[in-house]
Amino acid sequence: MKDKNITISGNDKLGLVSNLSTMITAGIPILETVDSLLEDVKGNTKKVLEAVREDLIQGKHLYSSFSRFPGIFDKVTVNIIKASEEAGTLDVSLKDLKSQIKKDMEFGDKVKGALTYPVLILMVFFGVLLMILIVVIPKISTVFLHLNVVLPLPTLVLIYISNAILTYTIPIIIGLALLGVGFVSLYRAKKQMVLHFFYGLPIVSKLVKEIDLTRFSRSMYLLLTSGITITSALDLTKDVVLKPEISSAIAYANEMVMAGKRLSDGFKEKKGAFSSIMIKIIEAGEKTGTLDKSMLDISEYLDYEVSNTLKTLTTVLEPVMLVFVGILVGGMMLAIIAPIYGLIGQVGGK
């Protein structure tokens, strides 16, 4: 019975696989390993190990237990474990999986690190904007109204927004909450459509493609080294990518392989999805019988490319965000100061 709702953090998953790998490599029987790990874990990790222990006692395999938790272990991981158990190389596969999880976490940290700065800048901007609208504008508007000053349009807009926020605070909060719920509902109902739009953005599209190809090549390496056939590996890896066109290209390449052609031939017909250097490395791997090693080389190369793209993205975003926020804040301050200068000019003229 599967439980999709049970998940664990990346650190907990890494710790679980790492401990299993270390103890099984040391020659400790798997049931004894699970019993030992159960003494120090809690939360969902404990639920997973309890399920594993229960299945092992009933004579089931580890992959069968892992397949019960699709929210933690994807199809690629489950099939790697299955192949390694059948081949008697579980210790090797667990070590490879530990390395894979660690790389995925580092990968995720790079992406989060690149997004942290712009998100922080936006939060600061909206905080400053809210403070100006709630604290500064009401005081300034009171002075202007008493003096009957002719106000420019930007100032009138700020005063109108400020009055609306102060007068209809609760309805606005409810409206924003409903808008948030509506967006979440739309995302859940039309997830692929929303993601397709987001992934189609100029810089994001290139980054997501590189991330997809990195995941694909790394998963292919793990599956092939575990002894899984190339067609089965391709069928599994088409589900680990984000962009539909990459998934379709992998499925097409799989059809070509099943028709008796080489993987590189299938990729050549989908040059929009796969780079020339990637196709050449795969072609060389097929000729020398080291396709799994070629996939590892590709994943390491693409990992480097993603790091460079993220650095470029961060470098470009920082000044753009600063200029954007500077213009908006400067515009708001100008809308406040301009009438004051006008008033001073009128007083000086008199």
Task: Mean pLDDT check: name the lowest of 22-36, 278-292, 327-341.
Answer: 327-341
Question: What was the pLDDT predicted at 342?
Answer: 67
pLDDT in tens, 273-327: 888 888 899 999 988 889 889 998 998 888 888 888 777 777 777 788 788 888 8
Confidence of residue 2 (pLDDT cuts 50, 70, 90): low
Domain count, the chain: 2
Mean pLDDT for the chain overall: 83
Nearest to 279 by CA among 289, 290, 269: 269
Residues 292, 153 within the same domain: yes
Residues 49, 167 within the same domain: no
Question: What was the pLDDT predicted at 1?
Answer: 55
pLDDT in tens, 191-239: 667 667 776 777 677 788 888 888 888 888 888 888 888 898 898 888 8
Q: What is the CATH number of the domain that holds 158?
A: 1.20.81.30
Task: Provide the CB-side half-sphere exposure for 133 (13 A, CA).
Answer: 20
Residues 96, 57 within the same domain: no
User: Does any domain span residue 86?
Assistant: no
User: Does any domain span residue 80?
Assistant: no
Expressed as residue numbers, the domain containing 123 is 91-350
Residues 106, 189 within the same domain: yes
- pTM of the predicted model as reported, rounded to 2 decimal places: 0.71
Percent of the chain with pLDDT over 70: 92
Q: Is the pLDDT of residue 180 over 70?
A: yes
Answer whether 218's CB lies under 8 Å from 232's CB.
no
Residues 51, 95 within the same domain: no
SS3 of 55-90: the string is: HHHCCCCHHHHHCCCCCCCCHHHHHHHHHHHHHCCH
Residues 127, 18 within the same domain: no
Residues 205, 265 within the same domain: yes
Question: What was the pLDDT predicted at 195?
Answer: 67
Residues 120, 233 within the same domain: yes
Q: Is the pLDDT of residue 87 over 60?
A: yes
Q: Is the pLDDT of residue 3 over 70?
A: no
42 DSSP assignment: -
Confidence of residue 165 (pLDDT cuts 50, 70, 90): confident
Confidence of residue 105 (pLDDT cuts 50, 70, 90): confident
Question: What was the pLDDT predicted at 184?
Answer: 81
Q: Is the pLDDT of residue 21 over 60?
A: yes
Q: CA 262, CA 247: separation in Å to the nearest integer?
A: 18
Q: Is the pLDDT of residue 23 over 80?
A: yes
Q: Is the pLDDT of residue 81 over 60?
A: yes
Helices 90-131 and 291-349: crossing angle in degrees, nearest 10, is 10
Residues 69, 27 within the same domain: yes
User: Does any domain span residue 157?
Assistant: yes
